Amino acid sequence: METKIVGEDLPVVVCKLKAGETVLTENGGMSWMDNDITMKTTTNGGIMKGLGRALAGESIFMNTYTAEKDDVEIAFASSFPGEILEFDLKEGETIIAQKRAFLCAENTVDISMHFRKKIGAGFFGGEGFIMQKMTGPGKVFLEIDGSLVKKELKAGEKLKIDNGHLAVMTSGVDLNIETVKGVKNIVFGGEGLFLTTLQGPGTVWIQSMPVSKLASLFYIGGQN
């Protein structure tokens, strides 16, 4: 499968398929496609796995698109201004992403939910108890809110981020929450009571404008 990402503020990934190649996306995720591509709706692993994806912010059903001949194209557009992030996962390689990040992938990629191991991180970490887990082999494309910053964390190295800004991390990164210290910092600092902490080793991708934060700004503006 050949792929290219086009566009800036609202990008789209265009996939060129050979005969027999299949790409999958969440229900309603396709933007346009050539005529010689067939669609099939499936739970992609059974109803329980579909329910797990629903808990992780995706639909129970997924659509698979299979090329009937060589060099046909299908496109998947982002639903929010930002970036599309591409991963080419090796066999058994895993990434963990925020809810609703999944855009499309080769059908060899396993998509499931990821439970937070620590209760505090689930309640106060800004991403909830359940995230998305993608395991290779194969290409997978994720939607990122706003602009993207990539950080490499060494073993034991810790990074603190505002809740909701975590987009993607490799499976070796430990995620927890930390209480903001100082009453004045909590009341007047504008960051709230908790920060998300990420500890290496591993790689994290941080998004500049989470949808949840943008929605809250519009809500506050609408109250004035």
User: 126 or 132: whose pLDDT is higher?
Assistant: 132
3-state DSSP assignment of residue 217: helix
- What pLDDT does residue 120 have? 47
pLDDT averaged over the chain?
Answer: 81
In the 8-state DSSP scheme, what is residue 95?
Answer: E
% of the chain beyond a pLDDT of 90: 51
pLDDT in tens, 77-96: 988 889 999 999 999 999 99
Question: CB-side exposure of 8: number of CA atoms within 13 Å?
Answer: 0
- Domains of the chain from N-terminus onward: 2-208 (3.60.160.10)
Residue 176 has what pLDDT?
A: 84
Is the pLDDT reported for residue 186 higher than 60?
A: no
- Give me the half-sphere count of Cα atoms (radius 13 Å) on the Cβ side of residue 70: 0
- 194-209 pLDDT per residue, tens: 778 899 999 999 998 8
Residue 196, burial from CB neighbour count under 10 angstroms (0-12, 13-18, 19+)? buried
User: What predicted TM-score, i.e. pTM, was given to this entire model?
Assistant: 0.80
Tell me the per-residue pLDDT of 134-182, one tens digit each, with 9 for 90 and over.
999 999 999 998 889 999 999 999 999 887 889 999 999 998 877 665 4
